[in-house]
Structure 1
């Protein structure tokens, strides 16, 4: 059992109970970690409820727009002043509207652009939240981190392969992975490790509402040698990175997708 007693973790990206970030928060709490969660305006009540459900102090839950460095600074410094140096940071933030995804939400008839017509302003806002925010959080956290701290972000295989329902969000994930690599090198003198988990398709509130996702999930049953995953599988892998077991692992993209990423075609067993 991983023992994180006395460790301090900050988690960006919890939306509700279905979130991968929330599952990771639960695993960290169970391992003995002190945790602080950020939220946005429309997730405040849900995040506070989840903290109370775990019996945790809600004072270190704070509204943070990751586009605003001042808000990130206020949050991380509040954690630092209360608990001391930060051991773990999870960057689980992502956002794209339908014009960036080039895919509609279930039940919506809103016109969506072709990939070649993705609006620049929409893409840049999505990039700001989903990718550049990792750099911004790392910059603010640099002098607040414990030696041998661990920063982890969440990516997706659409950064490397064409998944039509992901559209411009794939650009963000490709950029996010590159930012992760350069941060892993940047933090060498502080012995801070930076890694990414590339998770398979998990039916969260956000992903579950996109047209075509259920067909992708069904395909995963045949494509991935070990089948589809759930948020708990990602949480288990994250705990490795949020422990001393990974103290010499940095710049790694760790696939937790049942092996989906190794396959070129699905394998359907003859019956």
Structure 2
């Protein structure tokens, strides 16, 4: 059992009870960690419900737009003042518009946007939220971090391989992974470790925006040596990074995908 008593975690990206960040928050709480959650207007009710469900005060949450440095700073100031230095940060935020993800709404009658036609402005807003926000959050958090703090983000294998349905979001994930390794080097003097979990495709609300998501899940079930994963598998791995067990691990892109990433080609059910 990992003991996180007297530790404090700041969690960005809880959406609802199917989200990876939700599972991580619950498991950190159960390990004894003090948790604080950010939310946006669309996720406020779900975040506050989680806190009530865990018997925690709603004061542990704050509305934060990760594009706004002042809001991030206010959040860390609140956490530091009430819970103490921050030991762990989960960066679980991502966003891509229909134009970035290249999909159209069912029944709209409109063709899906093409990859070659992704608007620059849409992509930059998506990049700001999904990738650059990690750099911004770490920069703002430095005065509030405890010694040997751990920062963790969530990525996907589309950063390295072609998943047509992931479209422009793959650009963001590639950038995010590069930010991880450079931050790991930049923060060496502070002994702050920075890592990423490359999760297999799980059926979260966000995954619903990926073209062909159910087909990809079927491929994962057949192709990955250990089959598909669920949010709990990612949460369990996150707990390793949010503990002393990973104190000498940094700059790592950790696959939790049932081994899907090692396969060169898809295989059928007969192998």
Q: Would you say same fold, with TM above 0.5?
A: yes
Say whether the 8 Å CA contact 1:103–1:166 is kept in structure 2: no
Residue equivalent to 1:237? 237
- 1:266 Cα deviation after fit: 2.1
Going from structure 1 to structure 2, the CA distance change for 1:131 and 1:45 (only over 3 Å counts) comes to same
Q: Following the alignment from structure 1 to structure 2, what is the Cα–Cα distance between the partners of residues 47 and 91? A: 15
Tell me which residue corresponds to 1:267: 267
> In structure 2, how many angstroms separate the alpha carbons of the residues matched to 1:104 and 1:38?
29
Q: Distance in 1 between matches of 2:212 and 2:224?
A: 18
Counterparts of 1:159 and 1:121 in 2: how far apart (Å)?
20
* Residue 182 (structure 1) aligned with residue 179 (structure 2): no
TM-score for both structures, normalised by structure 2:
0.97
Task: Extract unaligned runs of 5+ from structure 2.
Answer: none
Counterpart for residue 212 of structure 1: 212
Aligned length: 271
Equivalences for 1:15-26 in 2 at 5 Å? 15-26=15-26
Question: What's 1:61 paired with?
Answer: 61
CA distance in 1, matches of 2:106, 2:94: 19
Q: Calculate the TM-score normalised by the size of structure 1.
A: 0.97
Q: Does 1:137 align with 2:137?
A: yes
Q: Take 1:2 and 1:36, find their aligned partners in 2: how far apart are those partners?
A: 19
| Aligned mates of 1:21, 1:80 — CA distance in 2 | 21
CA offset at residue 56 of structure 1?
Answer: 1.2
- Helix, strand or coil at the partner of 1:59: helix
Q: Tell me how far apart the structure 2 counterparts of residues 85 and 198 of structure 1 sit (CA, whole Å).
A: 27
Residue 150 of structure 2 corresponds to 150
* Large movers: runs of 4+ above 4 Å: 105-108
**Worse overlay, 15-24 or 96-105:** 96-105
Counterpart Cα distance in 1 of 2:2 and 2:24: 13
Aligned Cα root-mean-square deviation (Å): 1.2
Tell me the equivalent position of 1:50: 50
User: Are residues 1:127 and 2:127 paired?
Assistant: yes
2 CA distance for matches of 1:154 and 1:79?
22
